[in-house]
Structure 1
């Protein structure tokens, strides 16, 4: 049956665009569109859905207030023209935060987080906020804003990751595979099942490891060929 989804937005053009995007993804099944959150709330009292594409600023009831009314909300992707609500949205454990106008590639990236996420997995603790150069990591009940340029490397420790910067370590409950998908590939590279590194921070490397400052980070055997090809592009 695929992922059952609804669109909640007071702009007809925005609904039309999202509808066209949903139709391009076979795994998505659109079961309703609503011009306000009250109508969506009524629908959800009798129907179950897996995903909501939700605008924030709407008449009658805002998207954020609407989400707070749901006792067991489905996964939510905010679709909005306003970036000011990003932290508040992620505190509500949304999947992603899309800024209008939304390119299809960005839409697809957000949807992939739902399609590739097991039903039992908690909503990701780190969220990308495009188009700036920051990422938010959820630590306890706070969202910690971190400049991507400051991230040295990321280390996986079971169901947690440790994000290392020059002046701090951030430990958040997260899967490293989610971060690998979320962070910009031109800047971050997974070199080991337990490590992602910031390419701009690498000081030296060999066939077995990379050096970032005083840290020596191993290159996994299964990653070696791809890592060597990417690192070799910058050899002169």
Structure 2
């Protein structure tokens, strides 16, 4: 069950979302607010998994409100304006609902949120803190790295770029060699040139994976493995 709140300056829009959510068995609307700042205290004191967030609001806009949160819940934007769609996905929003939206479209957004929630829960229970440290050969050096800090690997020419939280290590090896070296169940190859940490994924659509604010493509031959992750 996902605990959700609604932030929208139009009471009628709030009622529409509430009426749609009644028919989604895994969504519970716990509170609603007509101003974004009103929700801050509630979020500090109550576990919230999802926010249905309007963009154009008096005072603090939905975009600025999201930027102000240090550890935001999942966000589904609900707005009558389409010009903010790109920016919303750059902020890792789960979905962007353009008013007026149908129940089918609303349910699709909720299903995406549920899939991401399951994925995050799975990555948490897999205990990435228990991932081992390894040595990577870079030039003439052997560099000790923590796999729990590895976000993704990118293949460029004959070299792999290992992108960690605070450093990048470049090593001459193949993607197959990297796959064999990584613990199973923690990393996923999404493209002939990319391997990603499952726990770092913030969003997935039909063509791309997002992590660390970066969009990475999904290769056609790897699509089925990505779909398995969501299911």
Question: TM-score, normalised on structure 2?
Answer: 0.58
Give the drift of 1:123: 2.4
Partner of 1:112: 111
Deviation at 1:104, TM superposition (A): 0.5
Compared with structure 1, are the counterparts of its residues 3 and 137 closer, same or farther at alpha carbon in structure 2 (3 Å cutoff)?
closer
Taking the aligned partners of 1:62 and 1:15, their CA distance within structure 2 comes to: 16
TM-score of the superposed pair, with normalisation by structure 1: 0.56
Using the alignment, how far apart are the partners of 2:91 and 2:63 within structure 1?
8
1:109 Cα offset (Å): 0.4
Q: Comparing 71-80 with 135-144, which one deviates more in the overlay?
A: 135-144
Aligned to 1:234: none
SS in 1 for 2:45: coil
Q: Does 1:100 align with 2:99?
A: yes
Q: 2:203 aligns with which of 103, 112, 124?
A: 124
Cα deviation for residue 46 of structure 1 reads 1.3
Tell me which residue corresponds to 2:221: 155
* Residue aligned with 1:45, SS: helix
- Identify the structure with the greater helix proportion: 2
Count of residue pairs the alignment pairs up: 151
Post-superposition CA distance 1:147-192 (Å, at most 9, x none): xxxx9x7221xxxx59xxxxxxxxxxx923579x9xxxxxxxxxxx
Aligned CA distance change for structure 1 residues 108 and 20 (closer, same or farther; 3 Å): same
Alpha carbons of structure 1 residues 116 and 138: separation in structure 2 relative to 1, 3 Å: closer
Q: CA RMSD in A?
A: 2.8
Task: Extract structure 1 runs of 4+ deviating beyond 4 A.
Answer: 135-140
8 Å contact from structure 1 (residues 125, 138) kept in 2: yes
Post-superposition Cα deviations, 1:88-136, rounded to whole Å, max 9, x if no partner, equal 1111111111100011100000101122332335322437xxxxxxx77
Matched, 1:55 2:134: no
Match in the other structure for 1:80: 79
> Does structure 1 retain, via aligned residues, the 8 Å contact 2:202–2:210?
no
Tell me if the contact between 1:87 and 1:143 (Cα under 8 Å) persists in the aligned partners. no
Which structure is higher in RCO with an 8 Å CA cutoff and minimum separation 6?
2
- Map Cα deviations across residues 196-235 of structure 1 (whole Å, 9 max, x no partner): xxxxxxxxxxxxxxxxxxxxxxxxxxxxxxxxxxxxxxxx
Q: 1:124 to 1:177 in 2, by over 3 A?
A: farther
SS of 1:52's equivalent in the other structure is strand
Q: Identify if the C-alpha distance between structure 1 residues 178 and 83 changes in structure 2 by more than 3 Å, giving closer, same or farther.
A: farther
